[in-house]
A and B are shown apart, each in its own frame.
Chain A
């Protein structure tokens, strides 16, 4: 289907099902129950899942295929956000022109940075990209304040011109981002028994973009161009000696992944029209590296899983405070309750970084291939069990060791 082989089609269908059914999958606990704390099916977080999924997919095209580790990818995300917000301020609140511009600007920016940084490889390349990203951050944070509004972040106001739209709504409020009239913040609730599922227009728009981005990534992975990128990763010197110039390929991969980041940045601004300089800081660049490695670098679905995991921790775990913990352990005797709370507390709330760090270490040590490898191992475990039941299948499995 669509020029994909059976395995990739299945993968695409899985991603399609996961994203389209996300409001159900992410809200497994009834509203109002004690476990509702862990529900992630509200629009803002779902949007973040897919937007950072797109960001990580793009990053993986560079890192997973060519092995070039960019430590400055957040710069493109930030540039995308700023361009989108400026489109909202100047042109109209329709998100399409904003997103298109953010992809183009991020692409140009990536071309410039990539052209310079790709003269070096390995650690020097990483440091160069990091330096560029920090430079962009510093520029956005203070030097370019008239364009970026510095630390406060760029916001839309009632006095913006918006030449194709209106500066203010008839009732005097700021217009909201929309797709030809469909407001991105529009949401519908579906109540099924004690459960409430929220369907948000913004989320579904992002999800469709994610599917397209994912499809494009599969095509790139399977194309001759993707093969060339893999060749660069495995042995660049050999490529040079065979007479192939790897530079245009790496630069193309860098620009493509920069445009993915710009797309993610534009989407972020489309969902919430504010662009802050922190989006470009090195911590944000490091986050996408973590996402990719946690999920499985070089795999197609890994980065999306990694992005989801980190954003879940950031938004759900960080909101568990002492009061919530006391609620959980209230059934224990007083002394034991305080003891349990003091043990668990460092790992939740503002200590969520600690939990994430431990998890990251465990994954890197025991599952070097990331969450995808974990999934494969579990899958193999089941297959082996099933195989024991029937000897013939076991024979067949032995003949295909490469899975």
Chain B
């Protein structure tokens, strides 16, 4: 006699529930890996997140070509490109750590939101262990923040804002490209030389982090040499017609127009400015001049005739004559039939630097890779500073370069360029006016334009 009623159904039910309860902890594994997206098979996946639409789509397409080339070289296909000239000799063309390199691509649409969604899907769905690319500083800052939270490495592509390695710097993020401060420091002396020290400048600035810091840098370095800044007008990044912004320039009394625009923006604003006859004008008894502090081969091509004689700065230029550049231009040209842009160059270099750091670290674990990229404390010659310490490498087209440990920013020579008056071919659009040595563009990590950020600590994601 018992009060409990064991029915067959009841026992089965209880058994099933208890069984499920017991099995639960064994089938739910709470991400048992040592770090996010630890590659366990014989391939490793990298995520290339570039703008395929929007004002920077041309740069994005070129970045993607460079990534594909870099992956080819890492996997031992093609002629090896800059792997042969790179001063670190750890890459053997057998993938990274023996794992074949695979990649996924995404479209940032030049929008922070879309870029983060795309990067998130690469991390969560495709298992990317490193994200690279981006052609807008707004996007780079947003994606860098995401990678820091998710615990993967972010190797920034083309991003020129001071904030990327300034107030928005992150321990998991690294930038090879130069920044707005360096542009200002390299360009200002050349501007003063060519156009004189008494000039009145009018700035048109793309309204986002890159535009702001670029304008700030150029204003500071030109005013230090005696220029005067008449006005700074912010323009939306999505704008395609700038005529309404150009007209007021004519009546402002300014004799220099500084276009803090990039990509499709710059092509349009420069074209508008030339159509308004700004370059043929005389103001204050001087020739009216236009300056584009940052521009590239692709933009020069887009702007056509209008780029002739315009001064600007570059991170890299394909006509340089060092061994690394020659090797890279040769293999890029063989594959695609035209020379690479600076965007392509920086993305290619970032991929190699990442691969090399992983080889040296012996693991894909983000914190170990961060330590490897921060280097062994070696420093550049001729710069007397406590922060002159990090990873020094050579043979990647920019001469001797320092990856500074304090803020994950690369320091190297900066090129001041000018649109060629008599181009010899459709690719030969820029000439290098001056190579500004690295000690002239050096700044301390706590410089006011970069202060306020904190690297934080590296994140493995678990």
Name A residues whose Cβ lies closer than 8 Å to a Cβ of B.
39, 42-45, 48, 138, 141-142, 145, 150-153, 155, 157-159, 168, 171-174, 176, 185-192, 198-199, 272, 274, 276, 278-279, 315, 318-319, 321, 323, 349-350
Chain A, Cβ-Cβ closest to B28: A188
**B29 located at the interface, meaning its Cβ lies under 8 Å from any Cβ of chain A in the complex:** yes
Shortest Cβ-Cβ A-B pairs, 10 listed: A151-B208, A172-B457, A276-B113, A153-B112, A44-B120, A42-B124, A42-B125, A152-B138, A276-B112, A188-B28
**In contact, A272 and B121 (Cβ under 8 angstroms):** no
Q: A133 CB to closest chain B CB, in angstroms?
A: 15
Asked whether A188 and B30 contact (CB < 8 A) given A43-B124, A142-B236, the answer is: yes
Measured CB to CB, the nearest residue on chain A to B127 is A31
**With A142-B236, A152-B208, A158-B454 in contact, do A173 and B28 touch (Cβ < 8 Å)?**
no
Interface residues on B, range: 35 or more
Taking CB atoms, residues of chain B closer than 8 Å to A187 are 31
CB contact between A153 and one of B29, B142, B150, B457 (< 8 Å): that residue: B142
Query: Are B114 and A278 in contact, CB atoms less than 8 angstroms apart?
Result: yes
Measured CA separation A168–B111 after assembly (Å): 27
B234 interfacial by beta-carbon distance below 8 Å: yes
Q: Are A173 and B53 in contact (CB under 8 A)?
A: no
**A350 cross-chain contacts in B, Cβ below 8 A:** 52-53, 107
Taking the nearest CB of chain B, how far is it from the CB of A218, in angstroms?
A: 30
With a cutoff of 8 Å between Cβ atoms, the chain B residues found around residue A171 in the complex are 457
- Chain B residues with CB below 8 A from A279, complex form: 113
The secondary-structure label for the interface of chain A is mixed
- Would B457 and A276 count as touching, CB distance under 8 A? no
Q: Do A153 and B138 touch across chains, with their CB atoms under 8 A apart?
A: yes
CB neighbours of B34 from chain A (8 A): none
A319:B104 contact, CB within 8 angstroms: yes
Chain A residue, CB-CB nearest to B29: A189
The answer for the CA separation of A168 and B106 in the assembled complex, in Å, is 31
CB under 8 Å from chain A, chain B span 165-209 = 168, 207-209
What's the count of A-B pairs with C-beta under 8 Å? 119
Known: A150-B208, A174-B148, A272-B120. A159 touches B236 (CB 8 A): no
Q: With both chains docked as a complex, state the minimum distance between the C-beta of A177 and any C-beta of chain B, in angstroms.
A: 10
Are A151 and B148 CB-contacts (below 8 A) given A188-B29, A190-B27, A321-B105?
no
> What residue of chain A has the Cβ atom nearest to residue B68's Cβ?
A323
Give B237's nearest chain A residue, CB to CB: A151
B29 touches A191 (CB 8 A): yes
List 18 interface pairs A-B (beta carbons < 8 Å), by A numbering: A43-B124, A44-B124, A45-B125, A150-B208, A151-B207, A152-B141, A155-B142, A157-B453, A171-B457, A173-B456, A174-B148, A190-B27, A191-B27, A272-B116, A274-B145, A279-B113, A319-B105, A349-B107
A272 to B142, CA, bound (A): 11
Please give the distance in Å from B108's CB to the nearest CB on chain A: 11
Q: A155-B168, A191-B27, A276-B112 are in contact. List 16 more A-B contacts (CB 8 A).
A: A44-B120, A150-B208, A151-B208, A151-B237, A152-B163, A155-B145, A159-B452, A173-B148, A174-B149, A176-B149, A188-B31, A190-B27, A199-B28, A272-B146, A274-B112, A318-B107
Nearest-neighbor residue (CB-CB) of A48 within chain B: B117
Within 8 A of A (CB), among B102-158: 104-107, 111-114, 116-118, 120-121, 124-125, 137-138, 141-142, 145-146, 148-150
A151 to B114, CA, bound (A): 12
B459 lies within 8 A of chain A by Cβ: yes
Contact yes or no, A172 B142, CB < 8 A: no
Q: What sequence of 0s and 1s flags, for each residue 206-235 of chain B, a beta carbon within 8 Å of any chain A beta carbon?
A: 011100000000000000000000000010
Given known contacts A43-B124, A319-B104, A152 and B142 CB-to-CB distance under 8 angstroms:
yes
- Determine the chain A residues whose CB is within 8 A of the CB of B150 once the complex forms: 185
Cα(A186)–Cα(B124), bound, Å: 12
Contact bitstring B21-59, A, C-beta under 8 A = 1, else 0: 000000111110000000000000000000011000000
Q: CB-CB < 8 A to B207: which residues of A?
A: 141-142, 145, 150-151
Which residues of the other chain, B, contact A318 by a CB distance below 8 angstroms? 106-107
Query: Contacts of B112 on A, CB cut-off 8 Å?
Result: 151-153, 274, 276, 278
User: Considering the chains assembled together, what is the distance between the CA atoms of A186 and B452 in angstroms?
Assistant: 30
- The 0/1 profile, CB within 8 Å of A marked 1, for residues 47-79 of chain B is 000001100000000000000000000000000
Query: A152 contacts which chain B residues (CB < 8 A)?
Result: 112, 137-138, 141-142, 163, 208-209
A251 to chain B, nearest CB (A): 30
Chain B residues within 8 Å of A189, by CB: 28-31
Residues on the B chain within 8 Å of A142, using CB: 207, 234, 236
Instruction: Return B335 CB to nearest CB of chain A, in Å.
Output: 14
Q: Which residue of B lies closest to A196 (CB)?
A: B29
Residues in B neighbouring A48, C-beta threshold 8 A = 117
Determine whether the beta carbon of B113 is less than 8 Å from that of A278.
Answer: yes
List residues of chain A with CB within 8 A of the CB of B137: 152
| Contact bitstring B3-36, A, C-beta under 8 A = 1, else 0 | 0000000000000000000000001111100000
State in angstroms the CA–CA spacing of A274 and B145 once bound together.
9
Chain B residues with Cβ under 8 A from A185's Cβ? 149-150
Q: When chains A and B are docked, how far (Å) is the Cα of A152 from the Cα of B110?
A: 10
Asked if B114 and A192 make an inter-chain contact with CB atoms under 8 angstroms apart, the answer reads no
Q: How far is the CB of A350 from chain B (nearest CB, A)?
A: 5
The complex places the Cα of A48 from the Cα of B148 at a distance, in Å, of 21
Mark interface residues in B237-254 (1 if CB within 8 Å of A CB, else 0). Answer: 100000000000000000
Distance of A44 Cα from B148 Cα, bound (Å) = 16
Cα–Cα distance between A171 and B171 once the two chains are bound (Å)? 12
Residue in chain A with minimal CB distance to B126: A319
User: Residues of A contacting B117 with CB < 8 Å?
Assistant: 44, 48, 315
